[in-house]
Structure 1
Amino acid sequence: MEQFIQENVWLVVLLALWVLPWKGVALWKASRLGQKKWFIAMLVLNTLAILEIFYIFFIARKKTLEVAETK
């Protein structure tokens, strides 16, 4: 595994550039919406941004719409 990473540094950089923005936005939304369990799950689990994308487009959007309707 270590040899693979050393031979494919570009892949590690590409994955980091893909994951970090998604993780940042998802953690920010979870924090703003007060969803501690989601925040912890996304902080601890590394799912190559799959969990983060799911959260942003389904969970956070639903919560944001619910908050907007109550105003």
Structure 2
Amino acid sequence: MVDASFSLLQTNPQFATLILILVLWELFWKGIALWKAARESQRYWFIAILILNTVGILPILYIFLFKEGKKGI
């Protein structure tokens, strides 16, 4: 399994670029959501966002839909 993934990265540079873009996307949104959850003392949201890797979906939902108090960023 690991050998297949590694060979896919070597033979297909577009795949490596896609993975890099997805990682950066996830880090950006996760960072903002974790910061906001910590500032507002929302422990359960912080833990969920930290543990689950959802390619930015959960952090975006938290930031824009499930926020208590102020709306949005």
TM-score by length of 1: 0.78
Matched, 1:64 2:66: no
* Higher helix residue share: 1
Instruction: Tell me, in whole angstroms, the C-alpha distance in 2 between the residues paired with 1:36 and 1:64.
Output: 16
Give the number of the structure with larger relative contact order, counting CA–CA contacts within 8 Å between residues 6 or more apart. Answer: 1
> What is the number of residues matched between the two proteins?
63
CA RMSD of aligned residues (A): 1.4
Q: Report sequence identity in percent.
A: 48
Structure 1 runs, 4 residues or longer, greater than 6 Å off: none
TM-score by length of 2: 0.76
Listed as ranges, the gaps of 5+ residues in structure 2 are none
